[in-house]
Amino acid sequence: MENQIDTQMEQRKGRRLVLFPLPFQGHINPMLLLATILHSKGFSITIIHTNFNSLNPSNFPNFTFHSIQDGILESEASSKDVLALAKLLNTKCVEPFRDCMVKLLSDVSEETISCLISDAFFYFTQAVADSLRLPRVVLRTGGLSSFVVFDAFPLLRERGYFPIQDSQLEEPVAELPPLKVKDLPVMDNVDPDSFYEIIAGMVNESKASSGIIWNSFEELEQSELDTLRQEFPNPIFPIGPFHKYYLTSSSSSLLAQDQSSISWLDKQAPKSVIYASFGSLAALSEAQFLEIAWGLANSNQPFLWVVRPGLVRGSEWLEPLPSGFLETLNGRAHIIKWAPQLEVLAHPAVGAFWTHSGWNSTLESICEGVPMICMPCFTDQKVNAKYVSQVWKVGLQLENGSDRLEIERCIRRLMVEKEGEEIRDRISKLKEKAKFCLQQGGSSLQNLDSLVSHISKLES
Ligand code: UDX
């Protein structure tokens, strides 16, 4: 068996993969993990990255890095408009990315490049890959469930769901049960046509690719996988959860992770702490921030809260908190700028995760069996929250945005009441399924084998 694996690895030597992550934290992490997984399967790895949110090559000595000048201006980079930035990246990167690929392909001293693996949101790369006759495989960093909804956008548009009307928020989306109109993965305060254009680019160029990789697992999203396998012409590979492959992987964090959170957690009782973090992009108004602060404080549970600089619009960091807020809590609260989230979720003191329902956070919480309180902000987060609360039933969703009384009540339901016990029980079972899919014969490992043989057969 071992000899057979060695021979397979030997045959793949001389095969290089070029990976191109979208430069946002929630996209960089899974792409770098995927690189580590594929490297362990014998491929050489080249990462092309933008100089916006550029990566630190010294964390990944086994990979080759190439930085491209994306031409993103300081003012564009610091704008909070993620949609505009994604669009800009898809236009400004075309030439530098193409030039970089041409150079890589013409370097005869390098191994043959089997394919490009790009983030699904870098949809411009399909045309570049086609023009260079290079196969392109896509990594979709979100879940399959939200992708099914994105794929249905043309139909939903035809049937008059967009732009979303406030009066229809509570109505069911008959085409996509159990979603209601309010769960549709849109973004508030952006031009709907621009948003629609980006989603269409992401979906259509994923369909045009030579295959799609997902950081998810079959047992979690089986019916969505069946739907996509029926509708998509190309192969689909759910091979997650990436971070549970137990390979030694370096950190791809753009911000320094504050380790004081772990020593603080060490002093707390088992399953007593609420960990609150809203990912790398979400932004809150000052009023929302204060409701969250009081909701946490009034819950009487200890809490570890990530307040990322820039989380509160118009503030540097914690200025909106009333003076003496932390002191009155007598050590019951620990606030940091960025956490080692994987370690935090795996810590025995953590009893619940109050999350914005980004896909990585959702998957990371499931893998540690930590039940969630969901407060989605935009796009796929809304679908993820619905699945957590109503399909997998492993968490609760805050229904009225952020209201301190509802927050307090929600925390009690999850951490103190019987309902919470049932939720905890369900997420423990899901955690076991997540573990099982990475054991010998498990679905993700089988899909990974199929992916490796698929890539090995791609001809450039
Ligand atoms: C974005 C989108 O918002 C999300 O909807 C989409 O699914 C992926 O891209 P983000 O908002 O950053 O991602 O959330 P998430 O997907 O949860 O990714 C955040 C990553 O940062 C996670 O891997 C998490 O472990 C890490 N993180 C978060 C930290 O390391 N420390 C923290 O304090 C918070």
One digit per residue, the tens of pLDDT, for the chain of length 460 reads 445 545 555 555 569 999 999 999 999 999 999 999 999 999 999 999 999 999 999 999 999 999 999 999 988 888 778 999 999 999 999 999 999 999 999 997 778 999 999 999 999 999 999 999 999 999 999 999 999 999 999 999 999 999 999 999 999 999 999 999 999 999 988 998 999 999 999 999 999 999 999 999 999 999 999 999 999 999 999 999 999 998 777 789 999 999 999 999 999 999 999 999 999 999 999 999 999 999 999 999 999 999 999 999 999 999 999 999 999 999 999 999 999 999 999 999 999 999 999 999 999 999 999 999 999 999 999 999 999 999 999 999 998 768 999 999 999 999 999 999 999 999 999 999 999 999 999 999 999 999 999 999 996 5
ipTM of the complex: 0.98
pLDDT per residue as tens digits for the range 15-45? 999 999 999 999 999 999 999 999 999 999 9
CB of 385 sitting under 6 A from ligand 1: no
CB of 206 sitting under 6 A from ligand 1: no
Q: For residue 4, what pLDDT is reported? A: 56
- Amino acid letter for position 18: V
Determine the Cα–Cα distance for residues 100 and 273; give it in Å rounded to an integer. Answer: 47
**Pocket test residue of 121, 360, 386 for ligand 1, highest count of atoms within 8 A of CB:** 360
Which residue's C-alpha comes closest to atom 2 of ligand 1?
358
Q: Give distance in angstroms: CA of 25 to centre of ligand 1.
A: 6
- Amino acid letter for position 424: R
Q: For residue 189, what pLDDT is reported? A: 86
Q: For residue 74, what pLDDT is reported? A: 87
Q: Give distance in angstroms: CA of 363 to centre of ligand 1.
A: 10
Which residue's C-alpha comes closest to atom 13 of ligand 1?
26
Q: Give distance in angstroms: CA of 4 to centre of ligand 1.
A: 38
Q: Give distance in angstroms: CA of 267 to centre of ligand 1.
A: 26
pLDDT per residue as tens digits for the range 106-126? 997 778 999 999 999 999 999
Q: Which atom of ligand 1 is nearest to the CA of 308?
A: 33
**Nearest Cα to 28, choosing from 126, 118, 93?**
118
Q: For residue 78, what pLDDT is reported? A: 82
CB of 201 sitting under 6 A from ligand 1: no
- Amino acid letter for position 415: M
Which residue's C-alpha comes closest to atom 27 of ligand 1?
341
**Pocket test residue of 359, 362, 374, 388 for ligand 1, highest count of atoms within 8 A of CB:** 359
Q: Which atom of ligand 1 is nearest to the CA of 29?
A: 23
Contact indicator for 70, 52 with CB cutoff of 8 Å: yes
Q: Give distance in angstroms: CA of 278 to centre of ligand 1.
A: 8
CB of 365 sitting under 6 A from ligand 1: no
**Pocket test residue of 144, 221, 259, 280 for ligand 1, highest count of atoms within 8 A of CB:** 280
Q: For residue 1, what pLDDT is reported? A: 46
Q: For residue 247, what pLDDT is reported? A: 77
Bridge partners (DSSP) of residue 112 are: 15
**Pocket test residue of 22, 24, 25, 214 for ligand 1, highest count of atoms within 8 A of CB:** 25
